[in-house]
Chain A
Amino acid sequence: DADVTQTPRNRITKTGKRIMLECSQTKGHDRMYWYRQDPGLGLRLIYYSFDVKDINKGEISDGYSVSRQAQAKFSLSLESAIPNQTALYFCATSDLVSHTNTDTQYFGPGTRLTVL
């Protein structure tokens, strides 16, 4: 079984709808991240969480919210979806092995979201 899972894998929705993307991990990591991938832009950070009580905005948080329900679960919500939120969304986790920012991030398979 995959260590980092995301649901759904694909979703088509309409402008104005509320959407939730879910991420679960079995790696036991405290740190979790949400990124979006757009062609030619790489991945950009939306939100990140260092533990259940510590949630922080990333580079492009406007229009998104998150919930860290447990150490293993980190959900991303689009309160009112718009077409420019069409993208590939990735969840990632990492452990705090060192304090030198050298730790590997482990990515889920991604959710392809289309907003019509």
Chain B
Amino acid sequence: GNSVTQMEGPVTLSEEAFLTINCTYTATGYPSLFWYVQYPGEGLQLLLKATKADDKGSNKGFEATYRKETTSFHLEKGSVQVSDSAVYFCAQPEYGNKLVFGAGTILRVKS
């Protein structure tokens, strides 16, 4: 079946540092790809998505490009803030929009 692999965390950065969280996937065909974020004590919310190869999703300064050649969807942000501290999940849908999630990457940003 489909799967998603994320880099292990936690990732600890200082404020204004550059962020990359790696995500690779295996799938039949070219699924949509998502990044969800979970802030402390909350449920997950969609951060960004890309629906086809070479698409770039972006939101709140975060970006991710759907690269079919490397089956990757890495999350990047040029300058992180303390408020970005959260758990980030890469995900892809299966039939019926069921989501297959990566293990999640904890991001801690220090001031």
Contact = CB atoms under 8 A, between A and B. Distances in A.
A12 interface: no
A104 B41 CA distance: 20
Contact of B42 (A31, A33, A106, A109): A109
A40 B43 contact: no
B98 A102 contact: no
Contacts of A50: 96
A41 B103 contact: yes
B104 A42 contact: yes
Given A42-B101, A101-B94, A107 B44 contact: yes
Q: Which one of A42, A43, A44 has the highest number of Cβ atoms from chain B below 10 Å of its Cβ?
A: A42
A105 B99 contact: yes
B49 interface: yes
Interface residues of chain A: helix, strand, loop or mixed (majority)? strand
B97 A42 contact: no
A48 B98 contact: yes
28 contacts: A31-B96, A31-B97, A40-B104, A41-B103, A42-B89, A43-B89, A43-B99, A43-B101, A45-B99, A56-B96, A58-B98, A92-B43, A92-B44, A100-B51, A101-B94, A101-B96, A102-B32, A102-B49, A102-B93, A104-B49, A105-B46, A105-B97, A107-B36, A107-B44, A108-B43, A109-B41, A109-B43, A110-B43
